[in-house]
Amino acid sequence: MRSDQSRTHRLRHLIPLARAAALVSLLTVFLTWPQAGRAGSRIGDHRDPWFSAWRLAWIAHALRTDPSHLYDANIYFPEPNTFAFSDAVLLQGVLGAPLIWAGWSPVLVYNVMLLGGIAAAGFGMFVLVRHLTANIDAALASAALYTLLPYRVEHFVHLEMQWTVWIPLAFWAVHRAVDESSWGFGVLAGLFAWLQLISGMYNAVILALFLPVLTLLIALPRPNRWTVLSRVAAGGILAAALAYPVSVPYIRNTEGLSRDPSVVARFSAQPVSYVTAPRDNFLWGGAVSRFGGNERHLFPGLTSLLLGALALAQRPRRIVWIYLAIGIMAVDLSLGFSGSLYPLLYRHAKPFQGLRAVARFSVVAFTALAVLAGFGVTYLQTRWRGTPAHSWILACTVAALMAEGLSAPMRLIEIPSATPSVYRALQRLPSGAVVELPALRPESAEGFDSRYQFWSSTHWRPLINGYSGTAPASYVETQQRMQTFPDAQSLDRLAQLKARYVIVHEQLFPRGAGADVLAATRGHTGLVSHGVYRDWAGIAEIFELVR
């Protein structure tokens, strides 16, 4: 009898979680369609998805072959520690590695991680709001809001920016640690903060700022404040201990790094950003997208704002005011040097000097808005309890959020399923470092380094090219020198870098210059051809440097 009661209790606990998982999964497919139906062959039309697929492939390769040199990726040869020039997305890489080892393509694994990150974020919000409101419908509405945020579309090509699941889960653990004076939940909050670090470093820096703020706001009025603060502090110590070995490669690469204020300003939000929708948004994009820029399309939708406003109706609980304060703080920080708080952080906190896109602080504003919306739904259900409208509140809320979040079809590009013959030919040649041309200048609007890098996963030769969050000065110099290839200065540079092979992609050069470059290269005594092959765009030829 007791066993049956226990089983019934578990089912009652699991059914809402299953409903939430099903809802956010369906909404993720809706938001990003047709990505789910093309997951094995298409990615977002941008350089970053190529880069992210390579990151996942590199982690799987390094874990299987030489884990101790994980951060010595095959790009920007011969520079060391090159994987730390951008976010390593270690958690996604570790989760995806068994799939790649089982034969899944890096493109498919990338899409699973991208869509899974969006759905997981919605699920994390469900957990947080269910705890705060004790209302499953409110939690489902908040989960839908967090899943369908236009922020997701704005960062559709950024794998790490979709993995915000640890923000609401860390907030939830802090609430539990304070409410129950629990060491376990304090440690869990620190573990979630660390998981955020290895999922996306931008969001980890942001979370590291807001976790103490939330803890202080909810703990200080309590008589046992010092006891509960010690519980959460234990989690902070754990997070710091776990974070240090992961952070060391980045500390080495960013020594002395400080973003120029003009660069920060370009990627900061403006007040108008919060009424500016992504251009792909079906309902709002055409009307207001012209006011934005990169990272600045932050309009969360009228439904979200109205629900958040309703949270303030009828003598709101103190927790509502706390999340309103957190949301306002996050908006102010997202304004960068135009706000009041970020200039202080920039001057006095080194980690914030390395941030470029401070508009991303908006993710905490949206986290707070989703929480407030849950209280707004609770208010509506209380107001209309006992009426026919009560049973329609959740369905109407989700429908309205879907209407405002609709951005499909997403702009996707096809990736060839077969390895281009030029890379199959390279696999058969003796080992040696490779440079692929054209290597366009960094300021060029175009660029093929992310594709060269992606296809390097088919041979894993050292690659002089690279695409990452930051490029080392040595590669910037190489790009400049390669503009006059195959003259003496370009070949001298390749000799310095110990390059062995040069792949010339004829169709990728601007204004048909590829034919002239190939003709000059074929006639050069210091270069020997290994044949003409196909790349993804047309003709490519492999040359070997003669020492």
Query: What would the pLDDT profile of 334-358 be if each residue is shown by its tens digit?
Result: 999 999 999 998 888 877 877 788 9
pLDDT for residue 332: 96
pLDDT for residue 491: 96
Average pLDDT, stretch 288-303?
79
The region that residue 386 occupies, defined by phi over 0 for left and psi between -120 and 50 for alpha, beta otherwise, is: left
Q: What is the C-alpha separation between 310 and 425, in angstroms, rounded? A: 64
User: pLDDT-derived band of residue 3, with 50, 70 and 90 as boundaries?
Assistant: low
More confident residue, 265 or 360: 360
User: pLDDT-derived band of residue 442, with 50, 70 and 90 as boundaries?
Assistant: low
pLDDT for residue 454: 97
pLDDT for residue 316: 78
Statement: residue 46 has pLDDT above 70: yes
User: Mean pLDDT lowest for which of 7-21, 450-464, 493-507?
Assistant: 7-21
Whether 92 contacts 120, CB under 8 Å: no
Statement: residue 8 has pLDDT above 70: no
> Which residues on adjacent β-strands are paired with residue 505?
540
- Residue 314 dihedral angles phi and psi, to the nearest 5°: 55, 70
Whether 300 contacts 366, CB under 8 Å: yes
> Which residues on adjacent β-strands are paired with residue 529?
543
pLDDT for residue 185: 95
Average pLDDT, stretch 180-188?
94
More confident residue, 308 or 253: 308
Average pLDDT, stretch 434-456?
84
Query: What would the pLDDT profile of 240-250 be if each residue is shown by its tens digit?
Result: 999 999 988 88
The overall pTM is greater than 0.85: yes
DSSP string computed for 118-145: HHHHHHHHHHHHHHHH--HHHHHHHHHH
The chain-wide mean pLDDT, for the chain, equals 92
Statement: residue 443 has pLDDT above 70: no
Whether 18 contacts 127, CB under 8 Å: no
pLDDT for residue 194: 97
User: pLDDT-derived band of residue 294, with 50, 70 and 90 as boundaries?
Assistant: confident
Residue 97: other Cβ atoms inside 10 A = 19
299-323 CB burial, b ≥16 within 10 A, e <16: bbbebbbebbebbeeeebeebbebb
Statement: residue 359 has pLDDT above 60: yes
User: pLDDT-derived band of residue 317, with 50, 70 and 90 as boundaries?
Assistant: confident
User: pLDDT-derived band of residue 444, with 50, 70 and 90 as boundaries?
Assistant: low
Statement: residue 258 has pLDDT above 70: no
Statement: residue 121 has pLDDT above 80: yes
Statement: residue 260 has pLDDT above 80: no
What is the percent of the chain where pLDDT is above 90? 76
Statement: residue 252 has pLDDT above 90: no
User: pLDDT-derived band of residue 478, with 50, 70 and 90 as boundaries?
Assistant: very high
Statement: residue 217 has pLDDT above 60: yes
pLDDT for residue 145: 98
Average pLDDT, stretch 474-492?
94
Q: What is the C-alpha separation between 42 and 49, in angstroms, rounded? A: 10
pLDDT for residue 188: 97
Statement: residue 253 has pLDDT above 80: no
pLDDT for residue 417: 86
Statement: residue 7 has pLDDT above 80: no
DSSP string computed for 378-417: HHHHHHTTTSGGGGGHHHHHHHHHHHHH--PSP-EEE--S
Local structure of 88: helix, strand or coil: coil
pLDDT for residue 368: 98
CA angle, 475 as apex, 474 and 478 as ends, to 5°?
95
Statement: residue 445 has pLDDT above 70: no
Peptide bond into 438 cis (omega under 30): yes
Q: Smallest Cα–Cα separation from 442: which of 450, 434, 453?
A: 450
pLDDT for residue 460: 97
Which one is the CATH code of 421-545: 3.40.190, 2.40.50, 1.10.3470, 1.10.10?
3.40.190
DSSP 503: E
Average pLDDT, stretch 440-449?
69
Give the 3-state DSSP-derived string for 444-499, with helices as H, strands as E and coil as C: CCCCCHHHHHHHHHHCCCCECCCCCCCCCHHHHHHHHHHHHCCCHHHHHHHHHCCE
Q: What is the C-alpha separation between 205 and 216, in angstroms, rounded? A: 18
DSSP 82: G
Average pLDDT, stretch 124-135?
97
More confident residue, 522 or 279: 522
Statement: residue 437 has pLDDT above 80: yes
DSSP string computed for 325-366: HHHHHHHHHHTGGGSSSHHHHHHH-HHHHT-S-GGGGHHHHH
Six token digits for residue 225: 């404040």
Whether 170 contacts 193, CB under 8 Å: yes
Domain boundaries, the chain: 10-40+105-405, 421-545
Average pLDDT, stretch 49-58?
97
Nearby residues of 29 by Cβ (< 8 Å), 6 or more positions away: 36, 115
Whether 145 contacts 370, CB under 8 Å: yes
